[in-house]
Amino acid sequence: MQIRYVLREGFSGFKRAKLSMFAAVFTICVSLLLLSYFVILFLNGQHVIDSLREKVEMEAFLSDQLSNDNILEAKGMIEMLDGIREVRFVSKDEAAKIFKEEFGEDIMKVLNFNPLPASFKIYLKDGYKTAVMAELIYRQVKSIKGIDDVIYRKQLLELLDQRAMVYLWITFGVGVIITIFSLILVANTIRLAIYAKRKIIQTMKLIGATRSFIRTPFLLEGFLQGLIGGIISAGILFLTLAYMEQWLTLEMSELVQVKPYYYAIVVCAGSLLGLFGSIISIRRFIGENVVG
């Protein structure tokens, strides 16, 4: 196969059929923008859910009769449980200080004594911040001798688990639909460009050209269309997010930020989209079921 011929034919579509090339690049660009905005929405939505989970912690209140040795023993038993990231002891005096910071009242002056019990602040590992795992840890901690009570935001975790699952399935379904429709649109647009060269393809078949020889320039053309569409969509995406950050608060702007490598992924996705669109399209004209 002559590489020079393949390259010349692969680039020739941009000169011979400018309208169809523009339509293909435009379709790929729009499809990638839709997919990109959807992925950003999904990732940042997941980020919000994860940030809410980060705020979930347990607090185990200790019996006043526990000695220092008993407290250390109970702390060690909690630290040995699966899913425990950190255990921090909060003394009665420290609890009174926290109360004053949060409510602005000195509980010693109000009641003339400190009724607040000592406690353990228990921080869970990332994989254990779910309703099921937190409930399991809750029961294990509460069964330890000297632990009077254990509290955590159970309802919040249950709500997050329910909403996260619904959110996951909805976003997954929408993402699949957008991807399929994008591929169909790109394939149909590229098919128009290939259809314009149908007589050339038929002639090449008659003179004995191999399928790979006929097919390769179209694959290169689709790849280039996707590459250009990916570069344009990555640029539009970057400018859009940069513009939005100027009008959003600092907290909200964090929800529309993406990593720099994401733009490279968009360009690569555009190239693959154009390539697969070409593969689907040329089957009709090359007359084979498998492109390889």
- Distance set, CA 47 to CA 51, 58, 236, 246, 257 (Å): 6, 22, 23, 21, 11
| pLDDT of the residue at 255 | 61
| pLDDT of the residue at 9 | 59
| pLDDT of the residue at 291 | 37
Q: The domain 57-152: what is its CATH number?
A: 3.30.70.3040
65 class by beta-carbon count within 10 Å (0-12 exposed, 13-18 middle, 19+ buried): exposed
Where exactly does CATH 3.30.70.3040 map onto the chain?
A: 57-152
| pLDDT of the residue at 289 | 40
What's the CA gap between 249 and 254, in Å, rounded? 9
| pLDDT of the residue at 6 | 56
What would the two tokens of residue 271 be? 């190239």
| pLDDT of the residue at 140 | 92
Longest dimension (CA), the chain: 104
| pLDDT of the residue at 5 | 58
pTM reported for the whole predicted model: 0.61
Block mean pLDDT (10 aa), the chain, length 292? 59 63 80 82 77 82 86 90 90 80 71 79 87 90 89 85 80 79 73 71 74 76 85 89 72 68 88 82 58 38
